[in-house]
Amino acid sequence: MDKNHILKSGIEEIFVTSSIDGSKEPNLVWKCFSNKPAPLLVGLHTWSNDRYNLVESLYPLVKKNLWHLLLPEFRGPNLKTNPRATQACASHLAMQDVVDAVEKVCSMFPVDREKIFLFGGSGGGHMALMLAGYRPDLWCSVASFCGITDLIAWHSQNPNYSPHIEACCGGPPTTQHIDEYKKRSPLFHVEKIAKCKEVYIYHGKFDKSVPFTHATILFNEISKIAPSSRVFLYVFDGGHDVLMERAEKQFLNASEKKITATG
């Protein structure tokens, strides 16, 4: 589906003003046709892509279930070719961009604010976990697939991406830049993530891009400090994959029950 066709399908492009630096940030949105407030699905693009990345997979899903859709850009791909790389990769600016976009959509569409779902895979899975900790009160349910949870570890585990991580964090994970790596890594925000209403951490056991231990280590750390949190781990028989049917079932189940924040 090319970009022109996407915009002709009923999906709109909107620009949302950042509440931090005033920049105009692009987003894709779709309003479902419902007579009452409807859930909102927020889809986060992968590490190397932009807001168009999830249209083909999420647009049919929201049409089927009568959910609104938001696909934010949050400062673009986490690549050294992105002139705003330091503003991408779960920076404060990038995370607030998503929150600002959610608030904008809630002002435009009849959104059921108790049913805002957050979805991401790979780099989007990393961002989903970071946002779970950034605004744990906002999300009804979060689904993170194959997300990076420790940028320090991943820098050495996947050399193909280390130049891009360095571009986002200001340099290699040495003393000078280590704090930036930690700020952008879910593993160093376990207390905040544990307060989210519901988080599912999915990871393929045979993932060759991001080791599944990123998921298990994060889950174990959260379980240590908040054993009663609604954070769940699902290691599946697969690789660097997204199980869309699993995510859909998760969100449908969450929408049918009242989930309260813990911690």
- For the chain, give the secondary structure using H, E and C: CCHHHHHHCCCEEEEEECCCCCCEEEEEEECCCCCCCEEEEEEECCCCCCCCCCHHHHHHHHHHHCCEEEEECCCCCCCCCCCCHHHCCCCHHHHHHHHHHHHHHHHHCCEEEEEEEEEEECHHHHHHHHHHHHCCCCCCEEEEECCCCCHHHHHHHCCCCHHHHHHHHCCCCCCCCHHHHHHCCHHHHHHHHCCCCCEEEEEECCCCCCCCHHHHHHHHHHHHHCCCCCEEEEEECCCCCCCHHHHHHHHHHHHCCCCCCCC
Q: Is residue 262 part of a domain?
A: no
Tell whether 218 is covered by a domain.
Answer: yes
Does the pTM of the predicted model rise above 0.85?
A: yes
What's residue 263's pLDDT?
45
Q: Give the pLDDT confidence of 80-99 residue by residue, as tens digits.
A: 999 999 999 999 999 999 99
In-domain check, residue 224: yes
Residue with tokens 């003393």: 175
* Domain of residue 121, residue span: 3-255
Nearest to 235 by CA among 220, 221, 253: 220
Mean pLDDT of the chain: 95
pLDDT of residue 262: 47
Q: Is residue 219 part of a domain?
A: yes
The CATH number covering residue 182 comes to 3.40.50.1820
Establish if 263 belongs to a structural domain.
Answer: no
CA separation for the pair 201, 219 (Å, rounded): 8
Does residue 261 form part of some domain? no
> Would you say residue 260 lies in a domain?
no
Residues 226 and 130: their CA atoms lie apart, in Å, by: 17
Q: How many domains does the chain have?
A: 1
Q: Residues 44, 17: contact at Cβ < 8 Å?
A: no
First to last CA, the chain: 43
**Residue owning tokens 């697969």:** 238
Torsion of CA 44, 132, 242, 172, to 10 degrees: 80
Is residue 46 domain-resident?
yes
Is there a contact between 127 and 88 (Cβ–Cβ < 8 Å)?
no
- In order along its 263 residues, the chain shows pLDDT tens digits of 556 656 557 899 999 999 999 999 999 999 998 889 999 999 999 999 999 999 999 999 999 999 999 999 999 999 999 999 999 999 999 999 999 999 999 999 999 999 999 999 999 999 999 999 999 999 999 999 999 999 999 999 999 999 999 999 999 999 999 999 999 999 999 999 999 999 999 999 999 999 999 999 999 999 999 999 999 999 999 999 999 999 999 999 999 875 544 44
